[in-house]
Amino acid sequence: MTDSKAFEAALDEISGITVRYNELLSKHTTFQIGGAADYYIETLTAEAMQAVLACAQKYSVRTKVIGRGSNLLFADAGYRGAVISTSAMKQITVSGAEITAEAGASLTALAKAALEASLTGLEFANGIPGSVGGAVFMNAGAYDGEISQVLLRSTYYDAEKREFCTLDADAHEFAYRNSIYRAHPEWTVVSATFSLRNGDHTVIRARMEELMARRADKQPLEYPSAGSAFKRYPGRYTAQMIDEAGLKGKQIGCAQISEKHAGFIINRDGATAEDVLALIDCVRNEIRRLYGIEIEPEIVYVPENG
């Protein structure tokens, strides 16, 4: 049984963390949706992360590690337990053609560090609003690039074995928007090292700017969202199917299929998680009816007690 008082007392003894009680998760997700978490904890170092996870385990407090909250939909009732954010762990170091970043570093900061060192390979990551940890977890990618192409190794904390481990790139079981981390919720990425190639600063910068402009042109960046709502279906463009199904602009409550890009669900102003889930169901039902196929959400839904 959860021992909240003992957990709170133990948190007081851990250095390198900030703890907020009953913190609204809508403040920490790009969707700007989600009720309050019992605890919202930012860790400054991998050791602080380890201490918080061990403490939560000891007092049976549920945990959910997040990065920048750009692929997440938290429940309207919030989260019973501790949401632990890596976003303060953001150091990036360059050594030759390798870049090592802490899990909470933003992908845009990572791409910019590569540019500063005239290293090529991470241009695709510029503008993806996630963290390094979240990107390794789901093999983030765009415009023909993805994490699996540049990752050398990642380091994670295993909450069951209570130790830090290192995983070489080929052990990640990378697939489309997937890695071994999805099957191991007890593993938390704490850092990742990328292997890049020497390139031309001007060419790298031009490619980054081009991709950023394509994003701004095609994506509804003016509204809160969690990126593409659905995974690609093999051999099909999901957004195109949604468009052809006449669902562009479809709205439930304040959640809407973007009129600019049918692959995005946007928060028009005050959307709830229930609105988004109902809209996801509506789209899946319509695509099943029209095309006889099952499309899967890309957004990760986190229920209050799940």
Ligand X SMILES: Cc1cc2nc3c(=O)[nH]c(=O)nc-3n(C[C@H](O)[C@H](O)[C@H](O)COP(=O)(O)OP(=O)(O)OC[C@H]3O[C@@H](n4cnc5c(N)ncnc54)[C@H](O)[C@@H]3O)c2cc1C
The catalytic residues are 177, 228, 298
Stretch that binds ligand X, among 5-13, 17-25, 70-78, 234-242 (CB under 6 A): 70-78
C-beta closer to ligand X: residue 184 or 248: 184
- Please report whether residue 128 would count as binding ligand X according to CB under 6 A: yes
C-beta closer to ligand X: residue 244 or 298: 298
Stretch that binds ligand X, among 38-46, 73-81, 130-138, 275-283 (CB under 6 A): 130-138
- Please report whether residue 81 would count as binding ligand X according to CB under 6 A: no
- Please report whether residue 135 would count as binding ligand X according to CB under 6 A: yes
Tell me how far apart the alpha carbons of residues 25 and 69 are, in angstroms, rounded to a whole number: 9
- Please report whether residue 70 would count as binding ligand X according to CB under 6 A: yes
Query: How many degrees, rounded to 5, is the angle at CA 215 between CA 277 and CA 34?
Result: 30
Tell me how far apart the alpha carbons of residues 147 and 98 are, in angstroms, rounded to a whole number: 14
- Please report whether residue 130 would count as binding ligand X according to CB under 6 A: yes
- Residue 202, judged by CB atoms within 10 A of its CB (0-12, 13-18, 19+), counts as exposed
Which of 30, 108, 118, 251 binds ligand X (CB under 6 A)? It is 30
- Please report whether residue 66 would count as binding ligand X according to CB under 6 A: yes
Look at phi and psi of residue 197 and say left if phi exceeds 0, alpha if psi is from -120 to 50, else beta.
Answer: beta
User: Residue type for 275, please?
Assistant: D
Query: Do 37 and 23 contact (CB within 8 A), yes or no?
Result: yes
Q: How far is the CB of 168 from ligand X (least distance, A)?
A: 17
Compose the 197-236 pattern: x for residues touching ligand X by CB under 6 A, - for all others: ----------------------x-x---xxx---------
The residues near 222 (Cβ < 8 Å, ≥ 6 apart) are none
Query: Do 280 and 265 contact (CB within 8 A), yes or no?
Result: yes
Strand, helix or coil for residue 141: strand
Q: How far is the CB of 203 from ligand X (least distance, A)?
A: 21
What sign does the dihedral 17-18-22-26 (CA atoms) show?
negative
Question: Residue 276 half-sphere exposure, CB side, CA atoms within 13 Å?
Answer: 32
User: Residue type for 41, please?
Assistant: I
Q: How far is the CB of 261 from ligand X (least distance, A)?
A: 10
Q: How far is the CB of 20 from ligand X (least distance, A)?
A: 17
- Please report whether residue 188 would count as binding ligand X according to CB under 6 A: yes
Distances (CA, A) of 183 to 34, 51, 180, 303: 24, 23, 6, 18
Residue 10 in tokens: 């133990």
C-beta closer to ligand X: residue 3 or 163: 163
Which of 32, 63, 100, 131 binds ligand X (CB under 6 A)? It is 131
Q: How far is the CB of 212 from ligand X (least distance, A)?
A: 11
Q: Using CB under 6 A, list all residues that contact ligand X.
A: 30, 64-72, 86, 103, 128-131, 133-135, 137-138, 140-142, 181, 188-189, 219, 221, 225-227, 300
